[in-house]
Structure 1
Amino acid sequence: MRTRMDRIRHTLLFEAVLMVLLILILPPLLGVSVQKIGGLSVIMSMLAMGSNFAYNVMFDKILLALGKPLLPRPFITRAVHAVCFELLFAALTIPVIMWWLNFTFIEAIIYDAGFLVGIPVYAFLFNLTYDTVFPLPQHPVPAEQNS
């Protein structure tokens, strides 16, 4: 499993890269001020960091409990990981979007739908890149398991 410090680095990098992308892309696309999107991004980032950290640790523990290797992760495992996190996160963010942007429930769902489509793609690509740039350390296999 990854170390606590590695998980913290993963979470901080995930959120920082995402916030930069959102602040660059959303204001001109939605006609919303950079300050409004920036503030919402910070709020959502704080929610995401806590839930992302806990979710990733729990996901790894579930994989280990099921006897599945942590790496390599097949496409389906990565896809399930990303989609399940985004569904959980939507349940947290829709009320925040409603409050911060003064949206109705339906408007917040529509706004959040863009994230539900885009963020799993981002999460998939980010995690694939992260595992490549920061691979898990390889531990030698004990001699009795080599035969």
Structure 2
Amino acid sequence: MRTRADRIRHTLLFEILLITTTVLVLPGVLGVPAHSFGMLSVIMSTLAMLWNYLYNVAFDRMLLRLGRPLAPRPFWLRAAHAITFEIGFAFVSVPLIMYMLDFGFVEAVLLDAGYLVLVPVYAFLFNLAYDTVFPVPQPQAEAM
């Protein structure tokens, strides 16, 4: 099990590297000012972390109210969890993208959809690297 400090380090490194990477690459691709995209990235990252916490607490409470166990979760429930999380976040992210980058609705939805494709790939690669650099501590066998 990872410690609280390790989980905080993981979250901060994940977000900082994601923001840095996107701010270095995407403004040129999208033709938007780097400072506007950087501010958008920081705001969206902060909102995503907050939404992640609130959504997961609400989801777990809903499961408990419905009399369902919190674990194990079947595939269909994990899929529903992920999809409804992203739909909920899109209600905030799409208008924010429209406002901060002066994008139309379709452009904002496409950018948001691009994140839906790229962030899981980034997360997979980040977590592989993180687990290599900061391996999960293995329990020590008790001496006889």
Fold similarity call, TM over 0.5 = yes
C-alpha displacement of 1:27: 1.3
**What is the 5 A alignment of 1:10-49?**
10-49=10-49
Question: 1:66 aligns to what?
Answer: 72
Per the alignment, residue 114 of structure 2 pairs with 114
> Residue in 2 aligned with 1:124?
124
Inter-CA distance 90–124: structure 2 relative to 1 (3 Å threshold)? farther
1:84 to 82, 85, 89: 82
- For the residue of structure 1 that corresponds to 2:23, the secondary structure is helix
Is the CA contact 1:97–1:103 (under 8 Å) kept in the aligned structure 2?
A: yes
User: Any unmatched runs of 5+ in structure 2?
Assistant: 58-69
Partner of 1:4: 4
User: What does residue 64 of structure 2 align with?
Assistant: none
- Whether the 8 Å contact between 2:32 and 2:101 is mirrored in structure 1 is no
- Distance between the aligned counterparts of 1:7 and 1:52, measured in 2? 14
Looking at structure 2, the residues matched to 142 and 54 of structure 1 have their Cα atoms a distance apart, in angstroms, of 39
Paired positions, count: 130
Structure 1 gaps of 5+ residues are 58-63, 68-75
What is the percent sequence identity of the aligned residues? 56
Q: Is the 8 A contact 2:37 2:101 kept in 1?
A: no
Q: 1:104 to 1:112 in 2, by over 3 A?
A: same
Preserved CA contact (<8 Å) 1:15 1:49: no
User: SS of the counterpart of 1:65?
Assistant: coil
| Cα distance between partner residues in 2 of 1:18 and 1:132 | 18
RMSD of aligned residue pairs (Cα, Å): 3.7
The question of whether the paired residues in 2 share the 8 Å contact of 1:94 and 1:109 is answered with yes
Asked if the contact 1:40/1:100 (under 8 Å) is kept, the reply is yes
Q: Which amino acid aligns with 1:96?
A: L
